[in-house]
């Protein structure tokens, strides 16, 4: 961060964030459901905007889920200029400066896409990922590795868990009316140096009708 004195001044104990593990629990995993009754069902677009902040020269949160057409607002809480640059595959790409303490920038993504990388061209270590889905059945694992998805209609689905470094896992899910299930996924890798081995995500999955 020394390339920008403003970032160096505000960043408190900066660390890499591509793999965040606490007591074997994996954070920032984007978990979502696909298939089943979701394929032919329309869902209302949330009226409440989602947000991504630039704070201590980091994107917060690192991983975010929104629905198609939902407003996504970018804030800049840093004393320096940032350059927001989403790099989608099927949505429109854009690239815009945002001044220190500048006005919020608002965007929407009209097409389903998992996941859209977001970067700052001014600060190459800054990265975020936005999952865009047509339904609300998604979550991001917290620092304790847990996530919760609620309100899923009964049926047969595929549960997808995506991580920016450790890749993607899928599991078949069958859920009935008023049923609650817990699912545990284990990510293993030999490519993360000192974190090689098993990275466990304890994942209570709550799906209720």
The predicted structure's pLDDT at residue 201: 41
Q: How confident is the model at residue 199 (pLDDT cuts 50, 70, 90)?
A: very low
The candidate with the shortest Cα–Cα distance to 158, out of 74, 19, 32, 39, is 32
Judged against a pLDDT cut of 80, whether residue 200 lies above it is answered with no
Q: How confident is the model at residue 71 (pLDDT cuts 50, 70, 90)?
A: very high
CA gap 74, 108 in Å, rounded: 11
Within 13 Å and on the Cβ side, how many CA atoms surround 60? Answer: 10
CA 92 to each of CA 87, 97, 105: distance values in angstroms, whole numbers, following the listed order: 8, 17, 15
The predicted structure's pLDDT at residue 173: 87
Q: What mean pLDDT is reported for the chain?
A: 87
Tokens (6 digits) for 19: 């793999």
Question: Is residue 116 within 8 Å of residue 164, measured between CB atoms?
Answer: no
The predicted structure's pLDDT at residue 190: 63
The predicted structure's pLDDT at residue 185: 86
Q: What percent of the chain has pLDDT over 70?
A: 90
């Amino acid at each position: 961060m020394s390339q920008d004195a403003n970032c160096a001044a505000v960043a408190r104990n900066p660390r890499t964030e591509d793999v965040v593990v606490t007591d074997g629990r994996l954070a920032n995993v984007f978990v979502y459901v696909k298939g089943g009754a979701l394929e032919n069902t329309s869902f209302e677009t949330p009226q409440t905007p989602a947000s991504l902040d630039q704070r201590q020269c980091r994107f917060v949160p690192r991983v975010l889920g929104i629905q198609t057409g939902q407003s996504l607002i970018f804030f800049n809480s840093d004393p320096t200029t940032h350059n927001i640059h989403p790099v989608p595959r099927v949505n429109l790409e854009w690239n815009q400066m945002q001044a220190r303490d500048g006005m919020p920038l608002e965007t929407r993504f009209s097409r389903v896409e998992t996941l859209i990388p977001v970067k700052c061209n001014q600060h190459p270590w800054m990265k975020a990922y936005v999952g865009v889905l047509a339904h609300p059945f998604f979550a991001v694992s917290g620092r304790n590795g847990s996530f919760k998805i609620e309100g899923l209609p009964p049926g047969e689905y595929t549960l997808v868990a995506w991580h920016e470094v450790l890749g993607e896992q899928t599991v078949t899910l069958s859920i009935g009316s008023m049923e609650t299930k817990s699912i545990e996924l284990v990510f293993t890798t030999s490519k993360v140096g000192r974190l090689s081995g098993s990275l466990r995500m304890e994942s209570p999955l709550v799906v209720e009708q």
